[in-house]
Amino acid sequence: MTDVISTSRDADRFWSRIANELAQAIGQGVYAPGVRLPSEHSLAQQFGVNRHTIRRSLASLVQRGLVNASQGRGTFVASFAVELVLGKRTRHRHSLRHAGLRGALQVLKSALVEAGSDEAKALCVPEGSALLYLQVLGEGAGQPLHVSERFFPLPRFANLAQEVHNTGSISEAFARHGVADYLRQESRISARLPEKDVAELLAQSVSRPALLVTSVNVDTEGVPIEFSKAWFAGDRVTLTVNHHDS
């Protein structure tokens, strides 16, 4: 007898079936964003399978970005999406305001470094030149949106770190250094999976894509004033490139 094997053909594998069932439950809000899922042990009992089978299902959900697992704490449901504008005059604040959000920049690290080949080329300075290095976290809607490494030529922007810290804004800090206006020269965009450290700062899984944007800002004279490598949380951010510009 060609018996009914499964009501729908989504039976597939146990772990896959369970993953889909959990994903659906999450989608329907049975498990809301931020909520802890039942423990692996408990899920294993619920579904009547081995704990490893549940682990396989959860691994799939982590990979799909639906949940984040944290050793010793539990497995939690994830979230969101924000649109940022990338143009000649990109300002973090303005982008966010445009998206109806408030946000600020936070200086995570500040240091004096020597220019490597990439930085030197971008900023048009000799290799080994002294640069100001900032690691900056950008937030919006209470969530990290991007984390960036920024390099500034040094005699000129010696006190920038403090200003960024005080004002929570790069453009404002520039303004206080006499740079009232500046332009973005070029942006290189790629989709990458973030390293663990970046992923943690972005509060996203290492298996979720991020946008890596490297860019150079120049002052109105065309002199490079900043080279940056910024990681954007792919799940929460869409970049919009304005070609005719504003």
Partner DNA sequence: CGATATTTGTCCGTATGTATA
Partner DNA sequence: GTATACATACGGACAAATATC
Query: Side chain identity at 25, as an amino acid letter?
Result: A
For helices 14-27 and 40-47, the axis angle rounded to 10 degrees is: 110
Query: Side chain identity at 14, as an amino acid letter?
Result: F
Pick 37 or 202: Cβ nearer DNA: 37
Site for its own copies in 47-106 (CB under 8 A): 63-65, 83, 86-88
Bridge partners, residue 82, by sequence: 237
124 binds its own copies (CB under 8 A): no
Task: Give which of 178, 179, 88, 165 is closest to 134, Cα–Cα.
Answer: 165
Pick 87 or 168: Cβ nearer its own copies: 87
**Minimum distance, C-beta of residue 2 to its own copies, in the bound complex (Å):** 26
**Is residue 70 within 8 Å of residue 76, measured between CB atoms?**
yes
244 binds DNA (CB under 7 A): no
Binder of residue 15, out of its own copies, DNA, none (CB less than 5 to 8 A by kind) = DNA
What are the structure tokens assigned to 70, written together?
A: 């944290």
Binder of residue 53, out of its own copies, DNA, none (CB less than 5 to 8 A by kind) = DNA
Helix (H, G, I), strand (E, B) or coil at 167: helix
Site for DNA in 39-98 (CB under 7 A): 39-42, 49-53, 55-56, 58, 69-75
Rounded distance between C-alpha atoms, residue 150 and residue 132, angstroms: 8
What are the structure tokens assigned to 117, written together?
A: 């080949």
What are the structure tokens assigned to 58, written together?
A: 């959860």
Length of the chain: 246
Bridge partners, residue 190, by sequence: 212
207 binds its own copies (CB under 8 A): yes
Which of 79, 110, 135, 185 binds its own copies (CB under 8 A)? It is 185
Query: Side chain identity at 44, as an amino acid letter?
Result: A
**Minimum distance, C-beta of residue 69 to DNA, in the bound complex (Å):** 4
**Minimum distance, C-beta of residue 140 to DNA, in the bound complex (Å):** 25
**For binding to its own copies (CB under 8 A), which residues are involved?**
63-65, 83, 86-88, 183-193, 207-211, 232, 234, 237-245
**For binding to DNA (CB under 7 A), which residues are involved?**
13-16, 37, 39-42, 49-53, 55-56, 58, 69-75
